[in-house]
Amino acid sequence: LKFFLEEGNPSADADAVTLPQDDNDNFAMRVAYDRVIRCLGWNFDFSIFNKSLRLSSGGEFSKKYPLIKASYESKGSRGLFVLGTASHSVDYRKSAGGFIHGFR
């Protein structure tokens, strides 16, 4: 930094190059949108399963997730495994399994 601040630096006299994005403040966000969709949560749809599968919701704090074992197998139906976001009941409020790390 000291090198660039010195008066004798020949590169200090160089002309500034204007880039296209310099014309707009925060150019990535200056785009017209047709629609904005807010996705603030979800609930697992238990109705898509036959009643004979006995797939039930989780405990008091995790009712929106199916009740499953640590092996991701349904507690009510042997051989029925749950994966993806619905499997978050295994670590609900215990770890950061429901978050996308590094995403902003």
pLDDT at 1: 47
Q: Write the CA distances from 20 to 14, 32, 33, integer angstroms.
A: 19, 18, 21
Q: Coil, helix or strand for 22?
A: helix
Q: What is the pLDDT of residues 25-76, one digit of tens each?
A: 555 555 667 777 777 777 788 888 888 887 888 766 667 888 888 898 988 8
- The amino acid present at 2, given as its one-letter code, is K
pLDDT at 104: 54
Its pTM stands at 0.49
**Calpha distance 60→46 (Å, rounded):** 17
SS3 48: helix
Residue spans per domain, the chain: 43-103
